[in-house]
Structure 1
């Protein structure tokens, strides 16, 4: 019989994993089939990975759908050597699940999220709310606050946005993002793209690219047309990557921050 941890405290394993019991009811599905139905999930943070994932007691997993992996994805998760393929309706999802070597997590199975890596379970729910990309971190805040600051945005020396009614989005571990009303943005300098991203805190974003000829990353501007309720104040407002544009706030120029997005933006830069 498994003893489920109840104490709410982050613990560390010798392998460098951080983990914490969660009180949320979590379900994971592949299509219409529920593969995980857990009231005792554990949040796990791997070294060097900024977002958590879930691991679940075996008793709350459909192990009858798991097969020993034909081509184990060793090296993809901290110290893990046991991987499983998910077989469902004749379809095989390779390396959809795995176990961690940490003794603290013995008897638990973790799953990939399709929306994050392109394999694994494709629908996830906390209580009755569907969540996307990865679990939300209980130690992270995301606050969208209306402001009267004067914000100017330039791209390659050209003024693209000028507002005194931004919404500032404060997200733990990231620079402040300045969301600007469309009326205060020179939309003729931007072109919409078919790029979209998902965020478990904010929702699904649409993107624009810069029309100019400078070496500027693609998809440098985004908006949330239907944001999650917690950040509803940013609905239809436009934000720019601080990492790749020049932003002035109340007359003071901001340094371009180095973030997890910096490298990806550099790789997207087009002539």
Structure 2
């Protein structure tokens, strides 16, 4: 999912291989300019506004935006103790964010003893996502984490035959599914509801949030818990699958052109990092 998260090229669980004569370091961090105006809102005010944001891609983490200190409102950040230590980037100072009577502890951090090779982060501060009110690119709010330019989703309509069975019961039978290709994941097949026996889908209480697709609703099928999911109000970028249903091939039998699909590498979703704090409340409350 992107460059360094999930099965991306810089993640520990990468599904590809670098064709190099010698092994790469166990951990590779990558930093680059975002090339987009990014703003941070806190306590009802804009506290950061920059066109010079650097995004850090760190293994097993979502991208993190680092703002130049000169693009942060003075006196908003108050130093905390103690200083912690990042395994690659050295000593890290933490800050309480304060705007009027509104304040949050551990709301931001800065690496204060960077090694020479990480100078791109010198004089920059990152904000904890859920400690802030919101992040924006220009005038549009972004949800979940800083934009990952290496995360891509492609949707393709197809006439291939997809069939889903739960034991002897046919749950879905379609010759017009849509396949969703997403960076770091195996293909996912979405079926129109008209081609599904909807009585087989029992709504589950679980909801998850994808920063790229929206809020997913889950369904139990027979004894198989959370065997299917749908994005009832998928984001405009993936509106083609809005309301359609996808099925977990290790929970029910999914056949594509007569061949049963297996649970491939890249199909296990790893929980979000704790500092991202992603949950369904954020997009539903935006």
TM-score interval (norm. to shorter): 0.7 to 0.9
Deviation at 1:80, TM superposition (A): 5.0
The structure 2 residue matched to 1:185, chosen from 196, 203, 222, is 196
The structure 2 residue matched to 1:136, chosen from 112, 128, 147, is: 147
- In structure 2, distance between residues paired with 1:226 and 1:76: 40
2:245 is the alignment partner of 1:235: no
Bigger relative CO (Cα 8 Å, ≥ 6 apart): 2
Tell me the secondary structure at the aligned position of residue 134 of structure 1.
coil
**Structure 2 unpaired stretches of 5+:** 1-24, 272-286
Cα distance, 1:261 vs. partner?
A: 3.2
Report the Cα offset of residue 193 of structure 1.
3.6
Change (3 A) 1:130 1:243: farther
The match for 2:232 among 215, 225, 243 is 225
2:91 and 2:110 mapped to 1: Cα distance?
6
Q: Is the 8 A contact 1:177 1:242 kept in 2?
A: no
Distance 1:79 1:183 in 2: 56
> What is the 5 A alignment of 1:101-180?
101=114, 102-114=118-130, 120-155=131-166, 158-180=169-191
Q: In 2, Cα distance between the equivalents of 1:182 and 1:31?
A: 43
d(CA) in 1 for partners of 2:197, 2:88: 44
| Match runs of 1:1-271 below 5 Å | 16-30=28-42, 32-49=44-61, 51-70=62-81, 79-100=90-111, 101=114, 102-114=118-130, 120-155=131-166, 158-205=169-216, 207-213=217-223, 216-218=224-226, 220-242=227-249, 244-259=251-266, 261=268
* CA distance 1:211–1:200, shift in 2 (3 Å): closer
Instruction: Give structure 1 stretches of 5+ with no counterpart.
Output: 1-12, 115-119, 265-271
Alignment length (residue pairs):
243
Shift of 1:78: 5.6
TM-score (norm 1): 0.77
Seen in structure 2, the aligned counterparts of structure 1 residues 243 and 139 have a Cα distance that, compared at 3 Å, is farther
Q: Indicate how the Cα distance of structure 1 residues 72 and 166 shifts in structure 2: closer, same or farther if over 3 A, else same.
A: farther
